[in-house]
Every structure is written in structure tokens, then in C-alpha cells.
Chains A and B, each alone.
Chain A
Amino acid sequence: KRTSASIGGAIADLVTKRRLDHAVVEELEEALIRADLGMETAVAIAGKVGEGRYDKQVTPEEVKAILAAEVETILAPVAKPLVIDPAKKPFVVLVVGVNGSGKTTTIGKLAARLTAEGRKVVLAAGDTFRAAAIEQIKIWGTRTRSPVIAGTQGGDAASLAFEALETARSQDADVLIVDTAGRLQNKSTLMGELEKIVRVMRKVDASAPHAVLLVLDATVGQNAMSQVEVFTRTAGVTGLVMTKLDGTARGGILVAVAAKYGLPVHFIGVGEGVDDLAPFEAKDFAKAVAGIE
């Protein structure tokens, strides 16, 4: 339901029981491009659907099922839960991404989930740049009954992260989630600051951060590839979250990202509420991309 009712429609129009030929494969390719998989991945997957099946009679349902299976093959290896290692205390989760992708909201949802599982969660208001970013995460802290370590707007984010880690440790927290300001990956100064946040936290705990989550917006196009590459290089991304899948965007670029980088995908965001975070399921996502309800 989430990802692509209209792709299903498109495929149904295109192939009402006919021979699987080059034209059908090309149409599948286009349906995948419309879902933001990108040219290369779309061509590769559509090609796979055609392999060994040319000239067979196929129904739209069959085509969709084969398509979903191909997409699932790519996604299944990356569908991995976020594992909180209890030996790391606090387990430090650093959340990064471009502006407005949904980092702070995802932190709120994640705090709710981890708290519900019985963990003591502390949040760090590491976005010291954006107007009212601190107030925003404080509201999420109140909602999820998680203490928020905050400085002042315009303060140094790395020092705040350092302080937050020390405080979380002294408060015996299980998990510390660190928010960061949104930054575009082509801004080297801002990426340098992110690197510094990581470096400084390692002074408190050499193994921190234990998870670095890159938050991707489902509406994003091909630029997501470079976001993944640069944030991984700079901050050592360990997993992905894709937000805003409750909209019309299908987030198909995630398939291209999975094919190329193989990074784990932990969660998807499906709304603005505290419960609108779901584990990433390869099968569901693949079905949605292929237009199976």
C-alpha cells in the first residue's frame, strides 16, 4: 500500500497476458525508473525478469511476482534490525543526514521504541545550528520520557556530544541517541564538523559511536547514492533509515543503494507520529515496488 499503487496499475495496463518480449521488459524498466530505482538498476532488474522467459505467455500478476522476487533478492540481505549491544553502555547511536530528511523525528520514534523495550534512553541535542532544533528534540524527549542533554543554539556540537556521552554514562543510560544538524554531503566544512563529533566522542569511549544511522528521505532521487557514499566515508554509516514512505514517493533508490553499498536498512518512517516507525521488511518493500498490494 505504502509504496506504489500506481506502479501496479502501470504494469497491469502494459501486460494483460501477452508474450514476454523486449517491449514488456522495457515497460518494466520504465515502471522501475518511475519508482526512482535509477536507470542502471532498473535496466538490470528488468533484464533479470526477462532472462530465460522470453516468448512465454505471462499475466500481469506473474510479471509482478517475478519483479518483486528480483527486488527482494537485492533487499533481503540488507534488511537487518538495529541491534543494541548491551555490553556497550551506553550504546551510542549517531544520527546523520541531509537537511530535513527526518533525523530528529526518527530519533523521537526510536527513543519511544527502545524505551518501550525497557531501555533507558538519553537524547543529545546535537543540532546546535537550526532555529528551535533544541526545542524540537526536547519535545520529543518529553513525549518519550527521555532526558535530553542540550546546550545552546550556536554552541559547539562536538563538545555537546562529548558532554552528552559523559552524562549518559554517569546516568547509567543504556542508549544515547545523538542528533546532528542537517548537512549536504558536498559541504566539506560541515562534513568536517561531523567527523569531529565522531572523533571527540571517541575520547570518552573509543568504540563510540556504535551505530551511525543515515536518514534518507523517500522523495530523494539519484542524489541518495552520493549521500550514502560521502556520509559513509565521513562518519562511518552503519545503517540506513528511510522516512516519509507514507507519501507518494516510493523510495526505490533504496534498491540501487542496496545493490551498490549493501548497507543494512533498519527502519522505515511512515508518518509524523511517535509510532510511525516500522522495521524494514524486504518482502513488503519489494512487493510495494512491484505494485503488489
Chain B
Amino acid sequence: MFDGLSEKLSGILDRLTRRGALTAADVDAAAREVRRALLEADVALDVVRGFIDKLKERAVGVEVIKSVTPGQMVVKIVHDQLIETLGSTADPIDLNAPAPVPIMMVGLQGSGKTTTSAKIAKRLSDTMKRKVLMASLDTRRPAAQEQLAVLGTQVGVDTLPIVAGQTPVQIARRALDAGRLGGYDVVILDTAGRTTLDEAMMLEVAEVKQAATPHEVLLVADALTGQDAVNLARSFDERVGLTGIVLTRVDGDGRGGAALSMRAVTGKPIKLIGVGEKLDALEDFHPSRIADRILGMGDIVSLVEKA
């Protein structure tokens, strides 16, 4: 479906330059193709711009290794820069706070918050042996609270009993009280989906944050998101202050440029990725995997690395 960037670059660059250092003209020619590749991968336009400027600075004058072509060399530089932008280190969920540690999940409608809450709960309880309580603060979507309750049973994690008529802030308080009284290590607060234009709902989520003072505030966002990724990540970060991002539906065949956009505009780490509907389909984030996807290849990079 997408032509590899490397082939396009080979076509352009390998005619221009044979060997030696990359010239400004080489890099300019390459930059056009890189821009196209990033946009086709749904990286937000403004993020693409900043990325290209930096690429130009970095690539001009770079010596092309003997055994690779200039096109391959540029791809390697782009790839390295992608990884750097995406965050080279793995940032796990931080539980270094007095128990019960509140974790709050936020995001647009349908992004995967409830499912991801259960996946995280499962991981913390199964592999890290923490006692976890989950609570749904979604009083809006039909059967949202029941959904979390069912998932809780599936992963063997307690959920806060549903009390009709409570506001999200009241539920959050009750969850933290229950967390303290029940000797839980972690309390996961699943919130309702909201658009960032819905002022009442954005206020509500800010109030919940204030009441619960979560140690982690995770934005759950769909890997298939297009250019809107910047608005969404920026608005949630401004209104609630994120500590990290979870990217869902990475099991799809989207190119995942949203990851780069969100990381670039918020500076917040991508902590986990969702790779399926099943409750164990949660993985640590590896920037190189997403970088390969954005570029639509991976082999060139290892080729250059071996050279």
C-alpha cells in the first residue's frame, strides 16, 4: 500500500550523489520525500515541519558510509531522529507514591479507556502482585459502568460497587476511600469519553483530577488518529496535565504517526501500547517499532547499522 521511503530516496539521491558527504541539495531533495512519507503516516503537519528542519540541520555534511547508498543513509538518519523524538527510553507506569496510588484514564470517546484500564489492572495485579481496585466514573455512556465491572471479573480485579446517581467526583472520592479502607495498592479511575470542545465535560475531568490527585494521568488515544492528534493531546494536557500516553489499536495496520505528533506536542512519554481487544494485549512501548511503521520499513535501518 505504501512505497518504502528508501526506494523513493534511492531514486532521487543516488542519481545526485555518488559518494562522500550529503550536500544541502541532496538533503533538500530527500526532505520532500520524507515530508510526504510522514504526512502519509498521519504525522501532524506542524510536527512534520519541525522534524524536517531538524533533519536538514543534522544531515547536511554527514559522510555516507561506503557500503550503503545516500538514500539509505538518509533513511537511517530519519529513523534515528524518529526514535529520539518518540522517546528512547521505556517509561513504565510509576507507582512510587503512597498507597493507594490513583491512576486516572482520560481521552476521547471510544479510544479504549475502559479496556485499557482493565489491561493495566491485570498487568499490575498478575505480574506486579499489586492489589488493584477499578472504578468507572462514566455516568453517561449506556452500560459503561457495567462494562468495567464485567472486565474486572474477567481479569480478577475488584471494581467499586456501582451506586446510581453519583457524580464522577463523588465516585472518585468513594473509590479512594474504598482504596484506603480496603488496603489497595492502586486505584484505577476510568472516566467517560469526551471531546475537547465540550467545556462542561472538560471542566468535570479537571474537577475529578483535583479531587483525586492522581499520580498518573494517562491519555488513551487511538493509533489510527489523524491530524487531530495534536489538538487532542494538547487540550487534554492543558486541562488535566498528563503524565503519559497509551496508544491503542496498534494491532491495526495504521502507520501510527499520531504517536509522533502527540509526543512532540506534549513531551509526555508513550508508556504502553494496546495491541488487541483481549485483556493481555498490552505491551511496553518500543519507539523503534513505531518508527519502522511510520517509515513503512525496517530492513534498511538494520542494513545501515551492520555496515
Find B197's partner among A135, A248, A272 (CB 8 Å cutoff): A248
- Whether A99 lies near B228 (C-beta < 8 A) is no
Find B252's partner among A130, A136, A184, A247 (CB 8 Å cutoff): A184
Find B42's partner among A133, A222, A246 (CB 8 Å cutoff): A222
Q: Which residues of A contact B45 (CB under 8 A)?
A: 30, 33-34
B-facing residues in A22-36 (Cβ within 8 Å): 30, 33-36
Q: Say whether A16 faces chain B, with CB atoms less than 8 Å apart.
A: no
Q: Say whether A131 faces chain B, with CB atoms less than 8 Å apart.
A: yes
- Whether B226 lies near A253 (C-beta < 8 A) is yes
Interface string of A174-199 (1 = CB under 8 A from B): 00000000101111000000000000
- Whether B40 lies near A222 (C-beta < 8 A) is yes
- Give Cα A217 to B221, complex, Å: 13
Q: Given A39-B36, A248-B196, A272-B109, A221–B232 Cβ distance below 8 Å?
A: no
Q: Which residues of A contact B42 (CB under 8 A)?
A: 36, 221-223
In the complex, how many residues of chain B place their beta carbon closer than 8 angstroms to a beta carbon of chain A?
47
Q: Say whether B258 faces chain A, with CB atoms less than 8 Å apart.
A: yes
- Give Cα A187 to B147, complex, Å: 24
Find A131's partner among B150, B195, B232 (CB 8 Å cutoff): B150
Q: Say whether A64 faces chain B, with CB atoms less than 8 Å apart.
A: no
Find B254's partner among A33, A108, A223 (CB 8 Å cutoff): A223
- Whether A139 lies near B277 (C-beta < 8 A) is no
- Whether A248 lies near B143 (C-beta < 8 A) is no
- Whether A132 lies near B257 (C-beta < 8 A) is no
Q: Which residues of B contact A185 (CB under 8 A)?
A: 252-253
- Whether B252 lies near A219 (C-beta < 8 A) is no
- Whether A132 lies near B227 (C-beta < 8 A) is no
Q: Say whether B271 faces chain A, with CB atoms less than 8 Å apart.
A: no
Q: Say whether B108 faces chain A, with CB atoms less than 8 Å apart.
A: yes
A-facing residues in B194-228 (Cβ within 8 Å): 195-198, 222, 224-228
Q: Say whether B76 faces chain A, with CB atoms less than 8 Å apart.
A: no
Q: Say whether A231 faces chain B, with CB atoms less than 8 Å apart.
A: no
Q: Which residues of B contact A39 (CB under 8 A)?
A: 36, 39-40
Q: Say whether A267 faces chain B, with CB atoms less than 8 Å apart.
A: no
Q: Which residues of A contact B39 (CB under 8 A)?
A: 33, 38-39
Q: Say whether B111 faces chain A, with CB atoms less than 8 Å apart.
A: yes
Could you tell me which B residues sit within 8 Å of A by CB distance?
Answer: 1, 36, 39-42, 44-45, 108-112, 140-144, 146-151, 154, 195-198, 222, 224-228, 231-232, 235, 249, 251-255, 257-258, 277
Q: 11 extra interchain contacts, Cβ-Cβ under 8 A, other than A132-B147, A249-B231?
A: A36-B226, A39-B39, A102-B109, A129-B277, A130-B147, A131-B151, A184-B252, A184-B253, A186-B252, A219-B222, A221-B225
